[in-house]
Amino acid sequence: ERRQLAVNLTRVLTLYRSILDAYIIEFFTDNLWGTLPCSWQEALDGLNPPQLATLLLGMPGEGEVVRSVWPLTLLALKSTASALAFTRTPGFRTPSEFQDNPSQSSRLTAPFRKHVRPKKQHEIRRLGELVKKLSELTGCTQIVDVGSGQGHLSRFMSLGLGLMVKSIEGDQRLVERAQRLDRELLQALEKEEKRNPQVVQTGPRLSPHHVVRWVDPTTLCEELLLPLENPPPSGARLLLTGLHACGDLSVALLRHFSCCPEVVALASVGCCYMKLSDPGGYPLSQWVARLPGNELPYRLREGACHALEEYAERLQKAGPSLRTHCYRAALETVIRHARPELRRLGVQGIPRVHELKIEEYVQRGLQRVGLDPQLPLNLAALRAHQAQENRVVAFFSLALLLAPLVETLLLLDRLLYLQEQGFYAELLPIFSPELSPRNLVLVATKRPLGHAFSVLETEDS
C-alpha cells in the first residue's frame, strides 16, 4: 500500500508541477493566473477568502454557497489532495489545553511553562509523553534528544517525566542557556515542594546531560551512543528523538537508528524540508528513487513547510493581511522593469503592510532592495494589480492544497526506507495542526509493537 501510494503521489505531483513550482511573487510577471485552465479561472474568479477556505481547502466555516458548478478536473484535484495526503488530524479528542488561558497549557505545571511559548508547551508535552510510552514499550534506558536547542523538551522529559536524557546541540550558546534554564527549573521545583509538602518527589531529580556537538548526517556520531550511567549497563537501549529536527538532522536520526544496534526506537518530527541535501536527504528509499517523477526540487520542499490550517484561518477572517502576497507580486513587476536581471529578491519585512497604499508599499520595498524609492510608478498598473488580490489568494490557496502531498511523499520515503531494512515504522499526527503545522511524528522500532502504535496515537493524558 505504501509503495502504491508513492506511485500515485509522483503521478499527481507531476501533473500539477506547474502550480507547485510557481513563486507567488511572480504572479503578475509570469502571468500565473493565465497558466490555469480557463474553467478553473471561471470557477475561482470572484470567490472571496472565506469561500476559498470552505470550498477549496475544505475548512469548516460560514462561506457563502456558490451556485456555479465547478469543473470536474478542479473537483478531482481537491478530492485527490485529500485522499492521498497523510491525515494531519490527531486521534485525541479532548478539550483544548489553552481553553482557560491562551498562553498557558493547563496540562503543564507553572515551572515547565516558564520561558516556553504556547506552541512549544503543547509540543514538548505531547512528544515527551509519547517518548515516555515508547521507551516503556521498548525497554529503553536512555533518551537522546538531538538538536535540543534550549532544552525545553529535554527538561520536561527528565525533570517532568523522570527519564534519563542526553541532549545534543551544535550551538554552544543554546547549550549554555539550556543549562541556566535547568538550574532555574530545579530551584522552582524545590520551592514548589516546600509550598506543597504533599507533593512527594520519588527518587532523585536528574537534569538533562547537555553535549555540544554537531551531528553530521553522513557519519555516525559516537557521542549519541555513550551511556550516561557509570558503570554503563550491559545491553544499553537508546531511544532517539528530535522535535522539529531541521533538514538533514532528521535524516541523521534515521541513519543512526538504522545502523546502531544500541538504538532500538525513534520518535522524530522533521521540518525545514527545503534544507535537505540534494542529493542525500531525499530520496532515501530504493522504491521512491526508482519512480519517474520523484524529483522534489527546492521550491516544492519549501512549499511543503507552509501552514495550511493557519492560512485557512486567515482566509476565514478575511483580514487585510491577505493582501501581502499581492503587494509583493506588484513590487516584483516594478523591480523587473527597473532592473530585469534582478529576480526574487528577499525583501526585509515591511511593518503594517495592510495599512499602506500599494504605491507606499512599493516605494518602501524598492528602498529595502537598494533601488531608488522615487522611481516613477505606473499607478494605473499598480491599481490594476491590486484589483486582482483575490486571484492571487486563490492561486496561493491552490498551491497550499497540494503542499501536503509533497510532505506526504517526503515522509513516505522515510517510512519505506525503514521498511526496506526490516524495521517497523508509522507516522502519527501528534500535535494539533492549528498550533504546530509540522505535526507528524515518525515512530520506528526494531521489533513489532502491534496495537501499541495506535495507543501512542490516541492517548492524551
pLDDT digits (tens, 9 = 90+) for 237-288: 899 999 999 899 999 999 999 999 999 999 999 999 999 988 889 999 999 9
* Residue, of 461 and 103, whose pLDDT is higher: 103
Residues β-bridged to residue 146: 168
Rounded to an integer, the average pLDDT of 128-142 is 94
Q: For residue 172, which amino acid is it?
A: Q
Distance CA 384, CA 140 (A): 62
pLDDT tens track for 108-117: 988 899 999 9
Mean pLDDT comparison of 78-82, 87-91, 342-346, highest-scoring range = 78-82
pLDDT tens digits, residue range 151-198? 999 999 999 999 999 999 999 999 999 999 999 999 988 888 788 766
pLDDT in tens, 324-380: 999 999 999 999 999 999 888 888 888 888 889 999 999 999 999 999 999 999 999
Cα–Cα distance, 250 to 233 (Å, whole number)? 28
Q: Which residue has the cell 496515537?
A: 457
Cα separation, 391 vs 41, in Å, equals 9
The pLDDT mean for the chain works out to 89
CA-based torsion, 88, 282, 275, 240: positive or negative:
positive
Report which of 210, 404, 237 is spatially closest to residue 304, judged by C-alpha positions: 404
pLDDT for position 120 = 94
Statement: residue 61 has pLDDT above 60: no
C-alpha distance from residue 178 to each of 144, 181, 190, 211, 213 (Å)? 15, 5, 18, 11, 14
Residue 200 has a pLDDT of 53
Shortest CA distance to 386 belongs to which of 376, 374, 378, 398? Answer: 378
Most confident of 34-43, 432-441, 449-458: 34-43
**Per residue in 201-238, pLDDT tens?**
555 678 999 999 988 888 888 888 887 876 666 777 89
pLDDT confidence of residue 227: 79
What gap in Å lies between CA 392 and CA 303, rounded to an integer? 16
Class of residue 270 by CB neighbours under 10 A (exposed 0-12, middle 13-18, buried 19+) = buried
Nearest alpha-carbon partner for 441 in 451, 455, 452, 456: 456
- What is the β-pairing status of strands 440-445 and 424-429? antiparallel
